[in-house]
Amino acid sequence: MLHATTTELEVLDLVPFGQTGAESRFFALRLSRPDWERWRPGQFVMVRPRNFGLESLWGKPLGICHMTARHMICFFQVRGRGTRRMAELRAGDTVRVWGPLGNGFAMEPDTPTLLLAGGMGIVPFVGYVVTHPKPWNVSMLFGHREPASCYPVDNINEHIAVDSLREQADGDLDNFIYTIQERMRDCAEQKGLVLACGPTPFMRTVQQFAAALDVRCQLSLENRMACGVGACLGCVARTTSAWPAQDKREFPVQVCTHGPVFWSDQVEL
């Protein structure tokens, strides 16, 4: 496992995404760069702003969107009390951050790699695409309900072609599922690798296709977490009989430390 640290980081800025005028629910949070030696796309951090006080106790698990020499970018959608507070952050505020946490996605530069993102599931793929040494081997299918401008899709578009499907009317979802299947079939024929991140129903669909088409596939899970370090046992997912460690087969394992990325045949959703 990579070495994690905990430190206070400074908020450099908080950039709203999506609709202008109306109150935004999507934000890129830019923080000063933590002093980690290494990180892998698909890993995450726990972020706890000082303004949580004693009202909200847990840090929030945020996927690492991207990292540069000077800063780390996380991305979040306002969904509850904690993320509402996070939307009030301003430049100069400090947040406690611990990480990098979890295992990250497989990266096989020469393998044709299909990224499947559902909504906010696009976040970890930004860093994946930006750091991939051979981006011409990577393609992406992105399904979402909100306008594309709500998500950090431009950063990915600069490097690879993204097929973006927005669900607005009846039939759009069926079309998306059909497209997932077709793209995964192509990937299977090329002996490729599928990586998926998104809401659970979407991931179940991907998992079923992966089994039916016999294509190697990883899923990034997003369970409720308190600690992020393997202690609270709140985020567990049940393994299948294909799990490598015999004593943990068909047993709950922590998503934060054994994942968040799992091979699709090794975990129950």
Partner 1 sequence: MDCAVTLKGQSRDLRLKNPVLTASGTFGYGLEFSAYGDLTALGGLVVKGLSLQPRAGNPTPRIAETTAGMLNAVGLQNDGVEAFCREKLPRLPWRDTAVIANIYAASVEEFAALAARLDGEEGVAALEVNVSCPNVRAGGALFGQDPQLAAAVTAAVRRAAPHKHVMVKLSPNVTDIALLARSVEDAGADSISCINTLLGMAVDLRSRRPVLANVVGGLSGPAIKPVALRCVWQVARAVRIPVVGLGGILTAEDALEFMLAGARAVQVGTGNFLRPDCAFALAAELPRACARLGIDDLPAFCGSLVLDHP
Binding site for partner 1 (CB under 8 A): 3-6, 48, 54-59, 81-82, 96, 98, 223-224, 226-234, 236, 247, 251-252, 257
According to DSSP, residue 34 is labeled: P
User: Which residue's CB is nearer to partner 1, number 109 or number 201?
Assistant: 201
CB of 9 to partner 1, least distance (A): 13
User: Which amino acid appears at position 158 of this protein?
Assistant: E
Listed in sequence order, the residues at least 6 apart from 49 whose beta carbon sits closer than 8 Å to its beta carbon are 85, 86, 89, 93, 94, 95, 96
Judged by DSSP in three states, 85 sits in helix
CB of 170 to partner 1, least distance (A): 24
User: Which residue's CB is nearer to partner 1, number 4 or number 156?
Assistant: 4
CB of 250 to partner 1, least distance (A): 9
When computed from its CA atoms, the radius of gyration of the chain, rounded to whole angstroms, is 18
| β-sheet bridge partners, residue 10 | 94
CB of 43 to partner 1, least distance (A): 14
From the list 72, 1, 73, 2, the residue with the least C-alpha distance to 37 is 2
Report the first-to-last Cα separation within the chain, whole angstroms. Answer: 24
User: Which amino acid appears at position 72 of this protein?
Assistant: M
User: Which residue's CB is nearer to partner 1, number 84 or number 224?
Assistant: 224
Q: Please, what is the Cα angle at 165 between 112 and 125, to 5 degrees?
A: 45
CA 78, chain centre distance (Å): 16
User: Which residue's CB is nearer to partner 1, number 5 or number 208?
Assistant: 5
From the list 95, 101, 129, 120, the residue with the least C-alpha distance to 44 is 101
User: Which residue's CB is nearer to partner 1, number 3 or number 90?
Assistant: 3
Q: Are 260 and 102 in contact (CB under 8 A)?
A: yes
CB of 58 to partner 1, least distance (A): 6
CB of 110 to partner 1, least distance (A): 33
CB of 219 to partner 1, least distance (A): 16
Furthest-apart CA atoms within the chain: distance in Å = 54
